Chains A and B, each alone.
Chain A
Amino acid sequence: MPETVIQTRKLTKEYVREDYHVFALKEADIEIGRGEFVALMGPSGSGKSTLLHCIAAMDRPTSGEILVLGQDLSSLNERDIAHWRNVHIGFIFQSFNLIPVLSALENVELPLNLTALKKQERREHARNALELVGLGDRLHNLPRQLSGGQEQRVAIARAIVTDPDLILADEPTGNLDAASAQEVLNMLSRLNKEFGKTIVMVTHDPHAARFASKIRYLEKGELLPDGRTPADWNLPAAEATSG
């Protein structure tokens, strides 16, 4: 077993309103090792995003424990969490979330503004990251001058520019056409295989899930045991896991 990067115990997130009570996450236990590429699957509302947000410390669980890179996230204050996220997490959104008024290069450079790097070095790092995702010739384009697939590649460059330990992606191909999705998945796969990045990716798409080294399923907030697929799910989990 490689070094554990993510470990949760009885991780629970409850939403209670007057006429409404839901377990977005119910006593989820998951362990992810360094260098793994895990796909999180499950029906809409099953808690995939919630789990990802808890791992990124964007959300606080109602109860349970969560250790990411050996750090107990509940012990950090707001400021430390922001810094921790900047250093350790690269997050990729379904809708890219680039800053519209900043160029590709500036978007990628953004997280580096929080580091001690000098302006020149930041530019250099950002350019390298964009070249890595094949956008070395679109440095000065604004997001609206790029295709969806290119925008998501800029977002990937932004997620990896700080060289984080963990890359988290919430339906990164959800807004993309098949060809662009393929490119993005190839890229994530390459980051995992060549650069040894640990990746957790939420997806609805069985095809996308095949790029992962392991698939975990959620149902109504509950994490199904390793290797188990929902009964009405037609994707054979074993196939992906063995790949």
Chain B
Amino acid sequence: MRIPFSYNIRNLVVRKTTTIMTALGIALTVAVLLSVLALVNGLQTSLRSSGDPKRILVMRKGATAELTSGVTRQAFQDLKFKPGIARDSAGQPLASLEIVTVINLPSVDSEAGMNVTTRGLLQPGIEIRNLKLAEGRWFESGRRELVVGKGIAARYPDARLGGTLKFGKGEWTVVGVVDAGTGPINSEILGDLNQVAGDLNRMEGLSAMWLVAEDEITAKSLINSINDDVKLTAQAKSEVEYLEAQTSSAAPIQFIGIFVSLIMAVGSSFAAMNTMYAAVSRRAREVGTLRVLGFSKGSILTSFFLESLVLALVGGVLGCLLALPLNGLTTGVGNNLTFSEIAFNFRVGPDTMATGIVFALVMGALGGLFPARSAARKEILTALREI
């Protein structure tokens, strides 16, 4: 770099209003992109971190989600005694037959309410997932009692401890809150299998089965044995595999978000271009002078191009700062696979920020290229005559 860098930095400082306005435009664009990435990132982390390779989900063949799956009690009886399933202290297999449905709850975010996954499960279902109560107690079988995930308790006023929810054949009382970290249970409502199934008139139409293998290797052979069992007509997956498939639910948000930020990026690039064209024309005489001093067209081009990149970099850093407060913010997102809501935290990690910076630099490069080229192409005498 022949023309000193300080020349560019100081020019950016001298026209600070334009610099700040342009950088802010880029910053907003970067912030939008980062929010989308943080959302997707957070969703993936939330889904993935709670997966345990020993936990196995058994659904009807071809089903992609518990909600659309169906299994019978008979299948559960056949499955329960397969070898390789871990047992609890009382020697009972850790296997749970479950029913999954969605109920609509009024939320703090939406008057119309949101769909929340509601799960009826057997006692071992709690141990299978290592669920720990944060408040209250567990539901008792034979009663309309519910335990809610922490994320649900926080976002649905009716689902707080002691609250009552209406569904099925009557009113249900929330008797406990469970802390499932970032796991999916955090966004679910739990009740006793038979009570829930009875209220929904689905005593035989149950959804899926969960079980825990003795260890990871056993888990693999257990999955194979279930999948090969023609009598069962069921399909088993490890929880990790199942949750990974669900991250695809973020795809539409990701698509729209990236689409919006691309449109904004076009705008910001033009703003940067406009700023740089103005800079080039204001400094035409300086360009002519630099050429007379012996600087080549190439170094003029590089100089203005770099200036645009620095401008964009400022915008990129500002954008990261704007997006940073999102880090850790809790929100929910509709899951189009389970038709319910998953609560999770935004995650603005270093790699997300790096993406934002690169995105900003691309805007700067696109915006800076043409003005820099026009500066370099000016005839010396024409440049010197401009005021």
Interface residues of A (CB under 8 A from B): 53, 56, 58-59, 78-79, 82-83, 85-87, 89, 91, 93, 97, 99-102, 106, 110-111, 113-114, 158
Q: How far is the CB of B298 from chain A (nearest CB, A)?
A: 8
Binding site of B, secondary structure by majority: helix, strand, loop or mixed?
helix
User: Does B87 make an interface contact (CB < 8 A)?
Assistant: no
User: Does B293 make an interface contact (CB < 8 A)?
Assistant: yes
CA distance A79 to B297 in the complex (A): 8
CB nearest to A82 among chain B residues? B296
A-B contact pairs, 24 of them (CB 8 A): A53-B381, A58-B291, A59-B380, A78-B297, A79-B298, A82-B295, A85-B292, A86-B294, A91-B292, A91-B293, A93-B289, A97-B285, A97-B384, A99-B286, A100-B14, A101-B7, A101-B11, A102-B6, A106-B6, A110-B4, A111-B293, A113-B2, A114-B2, A158-B293
Flag if A59 contacts B381 (CB, 8 Å): yes
Measured between beta carbons, the chain A residues less than 8 angstroms from B298 are 79
Flag if A85 contacts B294 (CB, 8 Å): yes
User: Does B3 make an interface contact (CB < 8 A)?
Assistant: yes
Measured between beta carbons, the chain B residues less than 8 angstroms from A158 are 293
User: Does B10 make an interface contact (CB < 8 A)?
Assistant: yes
CA distance A100 to B13 in the complex (A): 13
Flag if A58 contacts B10 (CB, 8 Å): no
Q: How far is the CB of A85 from chain B (nearest CB, A)?
A: 5
CA distance A115 to B296 in the complex (A): 13
Contact count band on B: 20 to 34
CB nearest to B289 among chain A residues? A97
Binding site of A, secondary structure by majority: helix, strand, loop or mixed?
helix
Contacts beyond the supplied A86-B294, A99-B290: 5 A-B pairs with Cβ under 8 Å: A58-B381, A89-B292, A93-B384, A97-B286, A99-B7
CB nearest to A168 among chain B residues? B292
CA distance A87 to B294 in the complex (A): 8
CA distance A59 to B384 in the complex (A): 12
CA distance A91 to B290 in the complex (A): 11
CA distance A101 to B286 in the complex (A): 11
Flag if A113 contacts B292 (CB, 8 Å): no
CA distance A110 to B286 in the complex (A): 12
CA distance A106 to B2 in the complex (A): 13
Q: Which 5 A-B pairs have the closest CB atoms?
A: A86-B294, A101-B10, A97-B289, A82-B296, A111-B293
Q: How far is the CB of A201 from chain B (nearest CB, A)?
A: 16
Measured between beta carbons, the chain A residues less than 8 angstroms from B295 are 82, 86, 114
Flag if A86 contacts B4 (CB, 8 Å): no
Flag if A56 contacts B292 (CB, 8 Å): yes
* Given A99-B289, A113-B2: A78 in contact with B7 (beta carbons within 8 A): no
Flag if B294 contacts A114 (CB, 8 Å): yes
CB nearest to B14 among chain A residues? A101
Measured between beta carbons, the chain B residues less than 8 angstroms from A113 are 2-4
CA distance A111 to B4 in the complex (A): 11
Chain B contacts with A in 2-40, Cβ cutoff 8 A: 2-4, 6-7, 10-11, 14
Flag if B296 contacts A78 (CB, 8 Å): yes
B2, B285, B289, B296, most chain A CB atoms within 10 A:
B289
Q: How far is the CB of B117 from chain A (nearest CB, A)?
A: 61
Q: How far is the CB of B125 from chain A (nearest CB, A)?
A: 70
Measured between beta carbons, the chain B residues less than 8 angstroms from A79 are 296, 298
CA distance A89 to B289 in the complex (A): 13
CB nearest to A86 among chain B residues? B294
CA distance A90 to B7 in the complex (A): 21
CB nearest to A115 among chain B residues? B294
Flag if B291 contacts A82 (CB, 8 Å): yes
Q: How far is the CB of A71 from chain B (nearest CB, A)?
A: 15
B4, B11, B298, most chain A CB atoms within 10 A:
B4
Flag if A83 contacts B294 (CB, 8 Å): yes
